[in-house]
Structure 1
């Protein structure tokens, strides 16, 4: 079966990535292990993005599937909530 896991609106990729790091930070998953611990909302402006594996992305190999799934689930909840609010305005 082919994977259809593509972003429908490619311009939203940066917003979704930022939301991912903000939620992970709220859950205490991102930043604590790197000594950075910076608020991810301002981390990119400050040039603090955690440890890197050489490709400009932080290494997050210590996170479990359950941790990552909880972040993904929270993203979905928030996006649904935003969509509902925009429909009922």
Structure 2
């Protein structure tokens, strides 16, 4: 049986918006992301020096717990449902 990717976006162009939403919700919940110790450095200055990618890019999230990841995913789902409900009304 061939495996299918279930993490495919229905609208591929929405990936950037979903990533932005993920980082917004993570920061609202106080979930640390980035490389270990990166929270103490000035991201703008470090981006100019090239020690971290400028523009935010895809950041490392392997240091968060499953509970934190679930909270972020739940927050994304909650926002998407709210936006859909507002669109329908």
Question: How high is the TM-score relative to the length of structure 2?
Answer: 0.68
Indicate the structure (1 or 2) with the bigger Cα radius of gyration. 2
- Residue by residue over 1:41-86, the C-alpha shift from the partner in whole angstroms, topping out at 9 and shown as x without a partner, is xx7xx5777x85xxx6322222001100110011000000000011
Partner in structure 1 of residue 70 of structure 2: 69
- Residue by residue over 1:13-34, the C-alpha shift from the partner in whole angstroms, topping out at 9 and shown as x without a partner, is 0000000001000011135952
Q: CA deviation at 1:7?
A: 0.2
Partner in structure 2 of residue 21 of structure 1: 23
**RMSD over aligned Cα atoms:** 3.0
Question: How high is the TM-score relative to the length of structure 1?
Answer: 0.68
Aligned mates of 1:84, 1:37 — CA distance in 2? 40
State whether residues 20 and 75 of structure 1, in contact with CA within 8 Å, keep that contact through their aligned partners in structure 2.
yes
Aligned length: 78
State whether residues 33 and 61 of structure 2, in contact with CA within 8 Å, keep that contact through their aligned partners in structure 1.
no
After superposition, the Cα gap between the structure-2 partners of 1:22 and 1:4, relative to the gap in structure 1 and judged at 3 Å, is same
**Aligned 1:1-89 pairs, distance under 5 A:** 2-31=4-33, 34-35=38-39, 46=44, 57-88=58-89
| Structure 2 unaligned regions, length at least 5 | none
